Amino acid sequence: MRICRFDDNKFGLVEGDQVRDVTAAFGKLPQHAYPFPRVDLMIAHLDMLKPAIEAAAREGKVYALKDLRLQSPIANPGKIVAAPVNYKKHLDEARGDPAIHHQNQVGEIQKVGLFLKATSSVVGCGEGVAMRHADRRNDHEIELALVIGKTADRVSREDALSYVAGYCIGLDMTIRGPEERSLRKSLDTFTVLGPYFVTADEIGDPSGLDLELTVDGEKRQVANTRDLILDVPTLISWASSFYTLHPGDVIMSGTPEGVGPVLPGNTIRATIAKIGTMDVAVRELAPR
Ligand code: MN
């Protein structure tokens, strides 16, 4: 199943290049009062929602996917966990280029660990990336983003994939410079998730997926998730050894080689096999 969020919090079931409005199904989600649970409710209740979505799709208005302004399919992730330098060739490129490493030591992921991105940085592909430090180098990073489906506390690598609800294409946008990663990668709009959420059953094994990113048609990043240093099950197991993962938590699995700068006016096109393609416009944030 492929689920999108569009326009102003409508939900759609994606079928090829068409979308059926299934917003009515989301009325079945439990109502909460303060303090709200720190989970994504769509993901936490996905098993209950699936039949309701299928029923709503039979009546739902039909749209062309290309006409919709897509928001992040995960509306309320509790945390965004991200893997630094998780492809060998990207590690080599980062260590070899002062414009990427900025005298920061670029260590192996096993030594550096994971980092967190602010949840306020999340947008959908239709919302675009807004640069607020356009005088600095702002880079694209395409990543397979996985969404945790159920509470995961110290899970084994062998069991890890059973905790995945599904996948999105992720962009981990980054300002290059000497500051901590969590600062340089947490600007508003710097975590793009899209184009929609694909349930895990449609992907199967996430270890052989082609990724490609172009900027205004120029090929920048071409890779395959088989070249991840720590694969998806290892990332989940390792992350859950430090903190409990909750439904809707997102893990950005790391970017391959070929990172490079974007400028206002560029369009990033990101594709991951079995998920789809998304176009993301880059702009400079208007001054206040
Ligand atoms: Mn990254």
pLDDT at 100: 85
pLDDT band at 99, cuts 50/70/90?
confident
* Selected residue with higher pLDDT from 104 and 151: 151
82 C-alpha to ligand 1 centroid (Å):
7
56 C-alpha to ligand 1 centroid (Å):
37
Q: What is the mean pLDDT of the chain?
A: 96
pLDDT at 221: 97
pLDDT band at 45, cuts 50/70/90?
very high
Is CATH 2.30.30.370 what the domain over 2-71 is classified as, yes or no? Answer: yes
50 C-alpha to ligand 1 centroid (Å):
31
80-284 folds as: Fumarylacetoacetate hydrolase; domain 2 (3.90.850)
Model confidence at 105: pLDDT above 80: no
pLDDT at 152: 98
pLDDT at 245: 98
pLDDT band at 91, cuts 50/70/90?
confident
156 C-alpha to ligand 1 centroid (Å):
24
Give the C-alpha distances (Å, rounded to integers) separating 54 from 27, 176, 197: 14, 44, 15
pLDDT band at 107, cuts 50/70/90?
confident
Structure tokens that stand for 27 in this block:
């009325």
pLDDT at 103: 79
User: Which residue ranges does the chain devote to CATH 2.30.30.370?
Assistant: 2-71
107 C-alpha to ligand 1 centroid (Å):
14
87 C-alpha to ligand 1 centroid (Å):
10
Tell me, what amino acid is at 8? D
85 C-alpha to ligand 1 centroid (Å):
7
What would the pLDDT profile of 191-225 be if each residue is shown by its tens digit?
999 999 999 999 999 999 999 999 999 999 999 99
| 256-277 mean pLDDT | 98
| 268-277 mean pLDDT | 98
**Other Cβ atoms within 10 Å of 248 Cβ, number:** 25
| 154-167 mean pLDDT | 98
191 C-alpha to ligand 1 centroid (Å):
10
126 C-alpha to ligand 1 centroid (Å):
21
pLDDT at 108: 87
Task: Give the C-alpha separation, 162 to 160, whole Å.
Answer: 5
User: Which residue ranges does the chain devote to CATH 3.90.850.10?
Assistant: 80-284
* C-alpha distance across the termini of the chain, in Å: 41
* Element spanning 222, H or E: strand 218-224
